Structure 1
Amino acid sequence: MKLSLYQVDAFTSTLFKGNPAAVVPLEKWIDDELMQKLAMENNLAETVFFVPSQKEGTDYDIRWFTPEIEINLCGHATLASAFVLYTQLNYSKPSITFSSKSGLLKVEKNGSNYEMDFPSWKPERISDYPDGMAEILGVKEILGAYRYRDLLIEVATEEELVNAKPDFTALKKTGEMVILTAKGDTVDFVSRFFAPSAGIDEDPVTGSAHSQLIPFWSEKLDKKKMNAKQLSRRGGDLICEQKSAERVMMGGECVFYMKGEFDIDN
């Protein structure tokens, strides 16, 4: 069995920045175990698979795998999938609707940007989170802890966020996926994302985290439209909007890196 593979840097206009995703278009689903093995072999934050959808009002069904697990939502790999469809696979409709484990996800091409309509996951303040989290994350002080899917930790400044040095072994033992965030110096907000329990110590740019960050900062800053940066080593830029209580928009650019082929006996 031969399968095509595209590697794309998402949420960036510069090669070797943003978040690399492996994109594997399929004609029909292959075994879950094989998809997980391919994701492990690729060893990127996410490998995304999609197939033509049989559902009314939907173009493709989509799934995402880290090297360790399947996840229920991934922004950068969805962005990369839309980019591959438009630039490599001759897709020509004004928008693409993906069906996923997190519902319908619509992507529109707007010039060089790809704008994704995603669920709004507003995190709520909590007091019950793992002991010693400030020390585990390597930050001075936690201003607040919040949760939706992930544990969102707010710190005081962008500088503190940049200088954070997590203990990934200790963080993995907690089982938490952590969004670290602060008000930005030159943009509205900044973040980093750590998920060693999912096989990713630090993710370069995380769309699903922004499903939680956008409603958090929209309320905090009293703004609907915002600009954000994820301050990983590779870095990424996002345009963001709180569209309603149920939906957010996040978008950015993509850069093509390579095309390859799997040759698998199955």
Structure 2
Amino acid sequence: MNCPISRQPVVAIVADRIERQKHMAHAVLEGYVHALARVAGVLPVIVPAHADGIDPATLIASIDGLLLTGSPSNVAAERYGAAPLPACTLVDPDRDAVSLPLLPKMLEAGVPFLGICRGFQELNVAFGGTLERAVHDQPGRLDHREGDHDRPVEHWYEDRHAIDIVPGGQLAQFAGVATALVNSLHHQGVDRLGDGLRVEATAPDGLIEAISVDSARQFTLGVQWHPEMRVDDSPLARAIFTAFGDACRIRQQERLQSPIPA
């Protein structure tokens, strides 16, 4: 008698393209890998920020979830029709060239999606939205940046402000609370919300902090904060990765039961 093989769902993480010892490299921070492996219960697989090497059809047939991470880099302003960012601003055109075209294809195919910080912003841009490049300079806005970089890095991810979770949304379904405290490490934010996106949470200054794809049947959540760094002590952070992992397991069952196209 053959016993069924237990397999972990496979989640693709699009890497940042960075320089390491005068070589270009593709990298993902440990916090995302830890949260996916230990809390979501999935197998993280890093996808290089190399557009010529990415075949969306192969990825769709092979994975059960997509994570777009936070990053020190910004989405290039040209991607949403704005004037170029200042020359001193860190951008990652190679990641833009992979993540922005790939994301709509993944969502259309029913692949669960979690976007964090830059990934949240990529979701908005992919749906035709725009970004505010310096939230802290806008009247009435909080300063959402991480603060002094000389502090120990764990202090960067301490709770900074509250969010109000919109009733009836994806986040509300598993958050278990109407308000929560979150960390804040960004200077850009949503300016115009993309078409077909739904607001899931807002900050006290009105800035959009979480979004989803309104028409999607699968998990499609983008959050502006960094839950991956708080999965060991934040119930909301754990709930986000647990719900994402559960959605990936549903996708895995559907994918493995579907016939392979000839």
Q: TM-score, normalised by structure 2?
A: 0.29
Q: TM-score, normalised by structure 1?
A: 0.29
Structure whose residues are more often strand by fraction = 1
